[in-house]
Structures are given as C-alpha cells and as structure tokens.
Amino acid sequence: MKYEAETNTVKLPVGELCLLALRGGDLDLRPGARGIGLRRAVEGQEAHRLLQKRMSENGYEIEKTLTWIVETGDFKVEISGRADGVLQGEVPIVEEIKTTNGRVDRPPTALHEAQAMCYAWMLARKEDAGAVEVRMTKYRPSDEACETTVVTKTAEELEDYCTELLSRVLWRAGYAAERAKTRLPSAAGCRFPYHNLREGQETLLGECYRDIRHGKRLFVEAPTGIGKTISTLYPAVRALGEGSCDRVFYLTAKASTCREAFRAAKDIYNAGGHLRTVVLTSRDRICPNREAHEDPRGITAHCNPQMCPRAARFYDRVPTALCDLLDHGNGYTRGVLEKAAEDYGLCPYELQLELSEFCDILICDYNYVFDPLVYLRRYFAQDVPAERNVFLVDEAHNLADRARAMYSARLSLTDAETAWRALNPPERTAESPLTDGGKPLKDLILTMRSCRRLCREGAETDRDGVKHGYYITHGAMEKLTAQAETCHEFLSSLAQKGDTPPEAVALGAALKKFTVVAEHYDSHFLTFAERHGHEVMVRLVCLDPSEVLDTALSRAKAAVFFSATLTPPDYFANILGGGKGAVRLSIPSPFDPANLCLAAVTGVSTRYEDREKSAKKIAACIAATVSGKRGNYMVFFPSYEYLGRVLEAFRARYPSVEIIEQTHGMGLLGREEFLARFVDDGKLRVGFCVLGGSFSEGVDLPGGRLIGTVVVGVGLPGLSSERNILREYYDENGEAGYDYAYTYPGMNRVLQAVGRVIRREEDRGVAVLIDDRWREDRFRCLFPAHWSGIQYAGNQKELANIVSLFWSKDSETTKNEFLH
C-alpha cells in the first residue's frame, strides 16, 4: 500500500487488497490448517503463461490491466492489477488462474475467489456491463490438469463484494497517508542526532548514504567507538525519507546489539526523523505460554485456537491492538509489545510481525532475512517486490558461520528409527497413526541403512567392535532427498489427522530443513555421510555461503555490512556474497593508539603438543600482565581443557587472586553473573574464558570494568574434518584454503578479544598476545593499522617491564605488589 502525495492517492494492488482483507479468523500453525493466515495466503503464482497462451488464440486478452478508483473523502484509493485473462462478449468473461501442485478439483480458495471478483468488478465498470462471468481456474503444470469453476455475478453483486473487501482495509490506508505526508518528510530533513562527529564518522556516513542510494553492497571495517550503529542507520533513514527505499532491516547476531540499534533509532526520532521502529523477538523468547515451552514437540504445536487462547480469532482482533499501538507510540520494544499483547489477549510474536508492516525500521536477528526456513515471507516471498529494502548487517563477521549453519542440515538413522517406534508402539491398535501406511518412513530408513555401505573412507572397527567410516560426495544424494521430501509430507499429513509423538515431530522438522537445504544444493555444498556403529548421519554441508547470501541479498536494494573486524576485506566481501561490485571501506581507530599497550610474548609455544609444559609459563605471563595495575582482566584460551590446565597452575602460584571462570554450557543467567562481577572498584580480578565464546565479542565493559586482555594462542579453530573440507574446497577454487578455513576466522577472534579493552576515548589498557607465531609474516600482515606499535617480549620479565612502563605514565596506578 503506497500513498502518493501529489495526487493524494493511496495505491493498492489487487493482490494486496485481497490478502489484507481476507486476513481474518484464527491464528493456526497446524499443518494443513485452513484459513487465510499470511503464510498460506501467498500462493504460488508461477508459470501459467502456457495456459494463457493457449487461450489467447480465441481473442482472449492476457494480463489485462484493470483499475478501480474510490474517493474516501480524505484521499483517493486506486486499486489496480492485471487479470490473467479477459474475453469480451455480451457477458464479458474474466479469468483468474492459480497454479497448484495439489488437487485441481477442490473449490477455489477465498483468496482466489476474491481476486477473481475484484477483476470482474473492475471489468464490469470498464465495460459498463450488467454482469460478468467469473472463471476461477486451477492448473497443475506437472500433468497439465485443469479445472475451472464458473459463476456469473451481476455488477451490483460485484460492487457490494468489493466494497466490503475494501472497507476491511481502509483503516490501513489512513496510516499509509499519514506516513507519506508527515513521517517521510521528517526523515528526509532530520538532523544528525549528536553534536560532534567523531573522526572517520563523516566518511562512514557519506559512503553509506551514497551506496544505499546507488544500490550497492558496502563492507565497512570500523573500530569500536566510531559510532557504527548511528553512522549506518542515520543515512539509511535519510535515504528512506527521500524515497530511495521503503524499509530498513537492521540485522544483528545478538540481542544486545538490538538494544543499541533501538537506542540509535530513538535518538534519530528525537532529532526529528519521525519513523516507526520495531524490535522483533524470537518466538522462543517472547511466547508467554508456559505449556508451549514445555512441550517436546515445540512451541508451534500450541499455536492454534484449541491450544492457546491468544491464537483464537487472532486476525479478527489484531486490528484494534494495532491501531492502539500505532496511535500511541512510534518505537516498539519487546516490553511494549508484551504489554499490548497481554492487554488484548493476543500472541505477542505474531502481533509484532503484524505491526512490523507499519514500521520503517525493523531491528531483528539475521534469521529473519537469511534463514531459508524462517525468513519473513511477508517481505521476501517471490512475488513481493524487494528492491525497496535496505539491509544493515551489524557484526557482519558472524554472518558467514551463521549462514553456513542456516544452510546445512542433517538426518540421523537413529532419529528416523526412534520416530518409527514411537509411531508403532507395541500396543498399536487399528486407530494408531501408521495404519494408513508408513511406507515413506520405512523407505527412508532403508535408504539410510544402505548408506552404511558407502562409508568406506577411514573405515575401522574400534576396541569395542564398533564400526566407523565416512563418505563424502559433491552430489545431493537425490534418492534420499526425494524420500526425505515424501516422508516429510507423510508426517505432516499424520500431524493433520491428530497428535503425533514428539519423536515424529522432531523428525518432521529435521526432514523439512533437509528438504529446504537440498533445494539450494549446488557446487558450494557437499554431502557427508558418517557411520558410527549402527548410527548413520547424513549431512548436507554448506561450504561456501556466498551464493545463498547473494540470493538473499537480492531481496534488498542495498546492503551495508559492518564490523570492527572485517580483515581481510576481500575475504569477507567474497564469502558474504558481496560480488564484483562490492564497495570496501576501512576507517581508522578514532582513539589515541598510545592508550593501548599491545605486546606479544613470543617465547612460548601454545601448540597442542606443547600445552602440558607451557601452562606454568602462561600463568607467569598472565601474572606479568596484571602486575602493572590492579583492575579487571580477561584471559582467552583456545579450549576449556587448556584453560583448566593454566588455571590450576595460576591458582597454585597466586592463590590470593580473585578468579572468575567461564564454564562449559554457561546459561544466560550465568553469563550475566559472570559479567556483573567486573566492577570498577580498584581490585584485581582475572576472568578465565575461551576465545570465540560468549565473552570474546559483543561484551562492553568500559573504563575500569576491564583494563586488560590476554589472548593465549593465535586463535586458529581446532583442526577438524569440517575445517579441512572447507580448506580443500577453497584451495580447489583458487583461494587460500588454509587461510579461509583457519587463519582468517582465527585472526577475527583475536581482533575481537583485543577489542574488548578500549571502548571509550578515555579508556586505557593492555592487550597481550602469547604465542611464538605472532612474529610470523602470515599473521603480522593481518594486523590492523592501529596495531603498528606492538611490542615484542621474549618472556614474562620483559612483558612485565613493558606493562609497568605503560602504567607508570598513569598517576593513579596501583601495582599488584604481591606478584613481585
């Protein structure tokens, strides 16, 4: 729905009118549920050209443009669209064709009928006809089966029908007009919300603005403190106000960055850019239905009117809540949405999605755009024009691994057999689920079992007599994929008939992902089958996400990827789907390099084979680092095992030092408690953490809350068959395989960990790297410009001197005398 100020007209395509008007009734996510929820309303509108072509031989006009203009008093509404076919005659005929893969002999859906009736009414007006013959055709391309439902409607009947449809959506038009008349101009003229521009910020603002307007993909490496969030969001808001785009998606890897983005959007609002912003929260986090959380089948098993009162008549009740939210606010956080959902007894998850359609800035996780299973079809389905979106991708260094996970899937023989047993309990009766045939699941299990024979690579029998082996192919294993699809349909049909056991629901979810991933399978993927005794695991692995990300990025006019660590820039532009036209920008740190004491201790090897003997040396280096000044420090290790070893040595030598230890599988509460202990009280504390875990990035402990970090090792991910496959893949494609699989991801983690220290202009601190490889060119060439002052120490004594000299310039320094 669009408003045109010059003509005071709200423009509404027929398809959108029907979708919005028919969105009523219950929210119901059960497979096969009827009704017009949005997911089901976006029907396949693929090739029915063939059918149209055949009909055109008899004077049948295809893709006939029709329009209906209505005066509402406040503005005009122009509804338009293209009817699939029109045939003139005494009683003109209008035809609406829908392509389907299912049965063609079912009655037309409500959406199909509504579209046909709209075109019939427009045709009646245009031709001044008293009646129109309405044809609703269903067409199945696979066998060209075709059924047509024909009704004849008088012009009065058609007008009444369409006027009723329109009356259901007119309330939306008022908000569209208000947005165009006041909100967009305010965004176009909005001032930058802060008084002072930091060094480099102006460059970033200008480049973002230009690239958004020109539809580019921009990759920005800009250090902490430059104001990346505001410097990308503000130009996007300006471009939106000026009409270069319609919607901004601010995409994050973590909930904490959502909060920062919302603050920036609020500041822009207060500076005059009166746009609406919503923060989207995942179903898992926002659903208030306790029972749903405890159900092993997953929350969505409860998203229907029988199980959850918030789903009952959701689409009938949601407009009142939306009007309330729209009339009384502009920024919608999780708290605001939860309260509104509570007040109106609605599902908060679906309420936020409905509300998002009225918002200009959507702050959400990467999933909502990039995940092939959960991306927002209301914005990114094939028939929704995407060229008006802008993606701002925060902490973009995370996206490659996240995308690999989104586009990889696995099937387990054990899971399939468990589901089979759950569906076929020994006490099975005639009414048990599989009485109508379990062949698809049986076939899948047999094929999975037969995969064992393929797993001849690395074949061995261990001490317990268990056989192992694997099989790798660059093919999609088409038979298995086809059976997975059939089996998924079979389990969905069982779910439609009644309750299915959680094991079958879990298998259904795995099959769905497997099938969806298989649709994207190409030369950037491989299939990896692994045998462990009886178990066979088949995985579709996305090696190179550049192609799938490129496809997802085509849903936007422009994209800006930004992070403090996008080194080397070509690597990130390449794997994140930047393509040949990608623009790269690197902004230097705005902070005084003299505020960071950066040192590398190169007299210690942290290689796997040296870890036993290096523990004491590492402990001594940590002591040397913290000896210069009391305060809070974090030490990052390549593994929990190494962490434990050094911690033992450190505790034995320095028992009085307060230690805060990251533990395996720490939950949200544990992580919050861990960080809460980093208080600026002048005492010495050392946090022992793992590199690449929860604390080496996205943690903001400014000032005295963190005055130093130590990174043990060079950050390389552990050797694994997955990484080696990645390495081979990139080698074969002419890239530096080892660097792509190990060095670059490792260096990224190190840069992130070091970046925890200096968060503000006034911050001062130390960062120490421990490993003899830091002198090697392959790592040194990846150092950012602001690391040029790095100092090298051979041992802990030299390190202590470097640190001591640094802090000696600081008048408030209190040394940790006990360490000497």
Binding site for ligand SF4 (CB under 6 A): 27, 283, 287-289, 292, 299, 302-303, 308, 310-311, 347, 349
Of residues 290 and 664, the one with the C-beta less far from ligand SF4: 290
Backbone angles phi, psi at 135, to 5 degrees: -110, 125
Rg over CA atoms, the chain: 30
Of residues 36 and 800, the one with the C-beta less far from ligand SF4: 36
Element (H, E) at 277: strand 277-279
Of residues 282 and 813, the one with the C-beta less far from ligand SF4: 282
- We find the least distance from the C-beta atom of residue 29 to ligand SF4, in angstroms, to be 7
Can you spell out the DSSP letters for 715-758? -PPPP-HHHHHHHHHHHHTTS-HHIIIIIHHHHHHHHHHHTTS-
- We find the least distance from the C-beta atom of residue 354 to ligand SF4, in angstroms, to be 12
Q: How far is CA 472 from the centre of its chain?
A: 29
Virtual CA dihedral for 423, 427, 430, 433, nearest 10 degrees?
-10
Of residues 109 and 352, the one with the C-beta less far from ligand SF4: 352
- We find the least distance from the C-beta atom of residue 40 to ligand SF4, in angstroms, to be 16
Q: 358, 371, 366: which is closest to 391 by C-alpha?
A: 366
Q: H helices then E strands: how many in the chain?
A: 32, 27
Of residues 292 and 441, the one with the C-beta less far from ligand SF4: 292
- We find the least distance from the C-beta atom of residue 307 to ligand SF4, in angstroms, to be 7
- We find the least distance from the C-beta atom of residue 501 to ligand SF4, in angstroms, to be 19
- We find the least distance from the C-beta atom of residue 728 to ligand SF4, in angstroms, to be 43
CB atoms within 10 A of CB 752: 25
- We find the least distance from the C-beta atom of residue 350 to ligand SF4, in angstroms, to be 6
307 and 292 Cβ atoms separated by less than 8 Å: yes
Rounded to an integer, what distance in angstroms lies between the CA atom of residue 420 and that of residue 513?
Answer: 19
Of residues 308 and 587, the one with the C-beta less far from ligand SF4: 308
Of residues 292 and 802, the one with the C-beta less far from ligand SF4: 292
Which residue's Cβ lies closest to ligand SF4?
Answer: 347
**Angle 34-36-38 from CA coordinates, rounded to 5°:** 120
Rounded to an integer, what distance in angstroms lies between the CA atom of residue 616 and that of residue 645?
Answer: 9
Neighbouring-strand partners of residue 560:
218, 392
Q: Is 88 helix (H, G, I), strand (E, B) or coil?
A: coil
**Angle 564-569-570 from CA coordinates, rounded to 5°:** 160
Of residues 281 and 527, the one with the C-beta less far from ligand SF4: 281
- We find the least distance from the C-beta atom of residue 352 to ligand SF4, in angstroms, to be 11
- We find the least distance from the C-beta atom of residue 511 to ligand SF4, in angstroms, to be 22
Of residues 354 and 394, the one with the C-beta less far from ligand SF4: 354
Rounded to an integer, what distance in angstroms lies between the CA atom of residue 636 and that of residue 645?
Answer: 13
- We find the least distance from the C-beta atom of residue 337 to ligand SF4, in angstroms, to be 12
- We find the least distance from the C-beta atom of residue 361 to ligand SF4, in angstroms, to be 24
Q: 258, 205, 196, 193: which is closest to 587 by C-alpha?
A: 205
Of residues 283 and 815, the one with the C-beta less far from ligand SF4: 283
- We find the least distance from the C-beta atom of residue 254 to ligand SF4, in angstroms, to be 22
Specify the DSSP class assigned to residue 609: G
Of residues 337 and 751, the one with the C-beta less far from ligand SF4: 337
Structure tokens at 683: 């005492």
207 and 226 Cβ atoms separated by less than 8 Å: no
Of residues 275 and 308, the one with the C-beta less far from ligand SF4: 308
Rounded to an integer, what distance in angstroms lies between the CA atom of residue 623 and that of residue 817?
Answer: 11
Rounded to an integer, what distance in angstroms lies between the CA atom of residue 480 and that of residue 411?
Answer: 10
CB atoms within 10 A of CB 82: 14
Of residues 226 and 287, the one with the C-beta less far from ligand SF4: 287
Rounded to an integer, what distance in angstroms lies between the CA atom of residue 3 and that of residue 154?
Answer: 31
- We find the least distance from the C-beta atom of residue 28 to ligand SF4, in angstroms, to be 9
- We find the least distance from the C-beta atom of residue 318 to ligand SF4, in angstroms, to be 12
Q: Convert 651-713 into a string of H (helix), E (strand) and C (coil).
A: HHHCCCCEEEECCCCCCHHHHHHHHHCCCCCCCCEEEEEECCCCCCCCCCCCHHHCCEEEEEC
Of residues 205 and 287, the one with the C-beta less far from ligand SF4: 287
341 and 481 Cβ atoms separated by less than 8 Å: no
Structure tokens at 577: 């789907």
Rounded to an integer, what distance in angstroms lies between the CA atom of residue 292 and that of residue 520?
Answer: 32
Element (H, E) at 365: strand 361-365
